[in-house]
Structures are given as structure tokens and as C-alpha cells.
Amino acid sequence: MAIAAVALVACNSEKADEKKEEPKAEKVFMYNDYNDVQIPAAEKYGIVPLEHRNVNFDSIKQLAKVEADDSILIIEPLTHSVPYLTHNAKALLMEIASNFQDSLAARGARPYCLHVTSMLRTLNDVRSLVKHNNNASETSAHSYGTTFDIAHNNFYPIPKFDKGPGKSLSNNELKHLLGHVLYRLRMQKKCWVLIEENQRCYHITCNS
């Protein structure tokens, strides 16, 4: 998997230094926050990994159920995870979705939903996934409830705005726009991010 580092270009003038810079839309934002940073954050802020799904997730006070919101968020069928995150991770996910909508509106674009493809995995889920996916790791930040995946190849136009104002954006433009949102949150140390090209998603761990 090719990983490209992206940095803002420093300006020489004092005036330019004082001006808040916005990443250019054509830039490709790539992240390489692997398990060496994601796992420590998950261990610090997450739950003790669960062995199996035969538990009442709603009774675990550290966890909050994540439900789809057809105005900002779609949860794809979860085969190896369940729709639960720690409270802070859920809040981060909703912040990402909200910021993404704000960024779309600022560019005069129509609204698009984000697709969440994975959330909390039990240890049994992880073992099962490793058997069928060569890219899966036996040590997964998903086991702590702090981590979720958002597709970067699938953005769904919100149906109720089909005939509304706003321009359509290509998948590549939407991927870059989501990258901008994650860049700002990562710079605030709110999360760690790994872009997975094979799985076509942003792998995100809450850092609080």
C-alpha cells in the first residue's frame, strides 16, 4: 500500500504566516497512522476487548449505539463488527459527518452521506476476519470501541436533496474533501487516521 505524506507549504511572508491556510482541493490527503499509535490510544480510551458477541452491548456504560441518519450517515451491513463505539468515538464520528456537510455547503455542493463500514469488533470477530482477509491484523484497534472505518470510495447523495440546489462532485473530489476534514481534526489531536486503499476506507481511532 502506497502511503504519501502531505504537509502544508510554509509561506515566507509574515502576512502569509498569519493567514489561516486551507488545504487545496486537488491535494491527496494520505495518512499512515498505523497500530503503533492507534493501539495505544485505543487501549487508553477504550473498553477491555470482548471475547464474543453474547453480551448485552447496551448494558456496557462505556459504549453507545450508533444508528444511521439518512441526512448525514449510512451504516453499511456489518458482517464483522457491531454498531457500537465509546461515547467519545461516537461524538467524533458525528463531528466528522457534520463537518463534512459544512465543507460541502461551503463549496456549493449538494449533500452526500458518509458510509461507515466497520465499528466495534469482538476478539472472535477479529479472528474470523483474519481467516478471510489477508490485510486484517490479529491486533485490532476496533476491539476497543474507539475505532471506525469510513468508506472513501462510496458517497451517497441524500435523496431528499436530489432536485435541490448544489453541484455534484466526483468520488475523487469527495474523497479529498473528507481528507480535509480528517486533516483538521487530526491536527487538533482528536484522532489518528490510516488510509486503507485495499479496503477503500479511512481507518480512524478516537484520541480521547
Mean pLDDT calculated for residue range 100-127: 95
pLDDT tens-digit map of 7-35: 332 333 333 333 334 444 334 466 899 99
For 13-17, 28-32, 116-120, 181-185, which range has the lowest pLDDT when averaged over its residues?
13-17
> Would you give the distance in Å from CA 90 to the centre of its chain?
11
The predicted structure's pLDDT at residue 68: 93
User: Is the per-residue pLDDT at 106 higher than 80?
Assistant: yes
C-alpha cell at 56: 448485552
User: 71 versus 75: which is more confidently predicted?
Assistant: 75
User: 104 versus 1: which is more confidently predicted?
Assistant: 104
Answer whether 116's CB lies under 8 Å from 93's CB.
yes
Mean pLDDT calculated for residue range 34-58: 97
Answer whether 42's CB lies under 8 Å from 146's CB.
yes
User: Is the per-residue pLDDT at 123 higher than 50?
Assistant: yes
Answer whether 75's CB lies under 8 Å from 67's CB.
yes
User: Is the per-residue pLDDT at 6 higher than 60?
Assistant: no
User: Is the per-residue pLDDT at 147 higher than 70?
Assistant: yes
State phi, psi for 83 to the nearest 5 degrees: -80, 60
Question: pLDDT > 90: what percent of the chain?
Answer: 69
C-alpha cell at 133: 482477509
Answer whether 38's CB lies under 8 Å from 147's CB.
yes
3-state DSSP assignment of residue 82: strand
